[in-house]
């Protein structure tokens, strides 16, 4: 279509109703059959419009139930600078727990810890390929819903004999344990991108076929990388916040 396809007009109309609040969060949209009549369109066309809205993150389609205005982003991550600050660690707050506090969800997580040769990560850490890494693989949940996968890697030479090799890292989180050993955290870098989830991620995050946000964080002590944390979050329900002073 040159001007606008019918499915786009349907999508735009519904989008407008959502934006203007005529349909508010959690409301059920008209059934597909109702939309067919209202817009004088075939079911295929109506569904194409609804898929547009789903991909845009505006609605959820629940098989056998209906189509609903999607809830707002569930987790807004705190500003990355503040959430990893020493002040927070001294207040015994691991980053994710602090967010739960601020945003009123009940946090939980499961952790697996193992050790493996550095391999491809050797160069990143500046260590031998055969040196062991401590790998902490976590699933974070908000009110029981998985909202983040995080795989954290640290050279084992700095984790040996610490709570970092245990399931519970203790108050203040992982960085607090490093500092107790005299490893001063000096800087962080996060690289953010987006991609479609693989089958495993889709299963863990459940249903929605939307994209995931992928973040790799590197943490330095001086010019030495002490932690690499690979995080995956559903893009529909997550916002990352970064703030900085003008320089």
33: left (phi over 0), alpha (psi -120 to 50) or beta: alpha
Stretch that binds DNA, among 17-25, 36-44, 71-79, 143-151 (CB under 7 A): 36-44
CA dihedral 100, 106, 112, 113 (to 10 degrees): 40
Among 24, 44, 181, 186, binds DNA (CB under 7 A): 44
Alpha-carbon dihedral angle through residues 196, 201, 202, 204, given to the nearest 10 degrees: -150
Choose, by CB under 7 A, the member of 42, 110, 119, 193 that binds DNA. 42
Would you state the structure tokens that stand for residue 87, as one six-digit string? 């002040």
43 or 86: whose CB is closer to DNA?
Answer: 43
- The tokens describing 174, both together, are 């992982």
Q: Which is nearer to a second copy, 155 or 197 (CB)?
A: 197
Shortest Cβ 36–DNA spacing (Å): 8
160 near DNA, rule: CB under 7 A: no
| Interface mask toward DNA for 163-202; x: CB under 7 A | ------------------------------------x---
- Answer yes or no whether residue 40 interacts with DNA by CB under 7 A: yes
**Residues near a second copy, by CB under 8 A:** 5, 8, 11, 44, 52, 55-57, 73, 76-77, 79-82, 84-87, 184-199, 209-213, 235-236, 238-247
Using the minimum distance from each CB to DNA, give the nearer residue, 227 or 236.
236
Burial class for 37, CB neighbours closer than 10 Å (0-12, 13-18, 19+): exposed
SS3 assignment, position 202? helix
Quick check: helix, strand or coil at residue 100?
helix
Closest approach of a second copy to the CB of residue 198, in Å: 6
Residue whose token pair is 């969800």:
105
């Amino acid at each position: 279509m040159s001007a606008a396809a019918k499915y786009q007009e349907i999508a735009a109309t519904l989008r407008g109703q959502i934006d203007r609040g005529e349909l508010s969060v959690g409301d059920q949209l008209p059934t597909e059959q109702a939309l067919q009549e209202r817009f004088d369109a075939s079911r295929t066309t109506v569904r194409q419009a609804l898929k547009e809205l789903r991909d845009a993150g505006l609605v959820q389609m629940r098989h056998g139930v209906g189509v609903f205005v999607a809830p707002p982003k569930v987790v807004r991550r705190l500003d990355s600078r503040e959430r990893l600050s020493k002040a927070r660690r001294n207040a015994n707050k691991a980053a994710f727990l602090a967010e739960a506090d601020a945003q009123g969800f009940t946090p939980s997580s499961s952790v697996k810890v193992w050790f493996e040769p550095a391999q491809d990560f050797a160069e990143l850490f500046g260590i031998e390929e055969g040196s062991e890494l401590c790998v902490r693989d976590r699933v974070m949940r908000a009110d029981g819903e998985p909202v983040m996968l995080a795989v954290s890697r640290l050279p084992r030479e700095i984790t040996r004999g610490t709570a970092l090799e245990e399931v519970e890292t203790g108050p203040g989180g992982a960085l607090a344990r490093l500092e107790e050993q005299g490893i001063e955290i000096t800087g962080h870098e996060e690289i953010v991108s987006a991609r479609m989830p693989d089958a495993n991620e889709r299963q863990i995050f459940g249903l929605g076929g939307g994209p995931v946000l992928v973040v790799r964080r590197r943490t330095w002590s001086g010019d030495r990388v002490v932690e690499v944390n690979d995080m995956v979050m559903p893009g529909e329900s997550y916002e990352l916040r970064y703030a900085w002073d003008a320089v």
